[in-house]
Amino acid sequence: MLQRTTTSSTDLLIRFLHIVIMLSFTGAYLTGDAEEWHQIHMAFGYTLGISLILRILWQFCAPRLAHTQPSGPSRRLQVIKPFVQRYWAQPQQWLSPTFLKAASSSLFQLSILGIFLLLPLTVLAGFLTDYTYSHTLKEVHELFANLFLASVLLHLAALTLNSVLLKKWLAKRMFWGTESHSWFTLFAAIFSLGVLIAFWFFYLS
């Protein structure tokens, strides 16, 4: 039986969109330089844009309708700000285990902010490049894509370091969980899947 939860920040839809964004960026990056794959490259880019829109909508809908609380920019900054305030002027502690744990957590949150800042810029620059055939916009698009990749690599590095220091694999909560979900969370996940399937069907047909 589906039940409501009041504590989850990584509910079913968050996990689903996380996987979609991860696969879409990988696909878009790998097909970016191949002219014969241009249509697929653009489809991956549009999928990133659609996923971002769904994620933003869910940020506002989840607390009201699904009774979950996805992490937003303010919550992530609440992790980064105390770390900077505490350790910025204390270089003697920069090799301590406590510092490394706090640093890896802060870099992890910073990488997520970077990803969600660069995602719309990358997609928009790609769309404008495809529409205008501007060489300058193409270079801007490639710059944003590479910065996006750098944020992803920072994300993975911080996650790995944090997992090693805490002696548990933190990534598993973004792929599966044991908590129950409200009916609205399940509906939203199915609706989002339907939107993405419909997009790919009409875009490629």
Report domain extents, the chain: 12-204
Query: CA–CA separation, 99 vs 87, rounded Å?
Result: 8
Torsion of CA 80, 84, 86, 88, to 10 degrees: 160
Give the pLDDT of residue 163. 84
| Pure H helices in 31-134 | 38-61, 73-87, 97-132
**Which residue matches tokens 């790919």?**
200
**Whole-angstrom Cα distance, residue 193 to residue 157?**
29
Whole-number pLDDT of residue 8: 58
pLDDT tens per residue across all 205 residues of the chain: 344 444 457 888 999 999 999 999 999 999 988 889 999 999 999 999 999 999 999 998 888 887 788 888 888 888 888 888 777 767 666 667 788 888 888 999 999 999 999 999 999 999 999 999 899 999 999 999 999 999 999 999 999 988 888 777 767 777 766 666 788 999 999 999 999 999 999 998 8
- Lookup result for tokens 């933190």: 170
Sign, CA torsion 25/137/115/53 = negative
Q: What is the pLDDT of residue 48?
A: 97
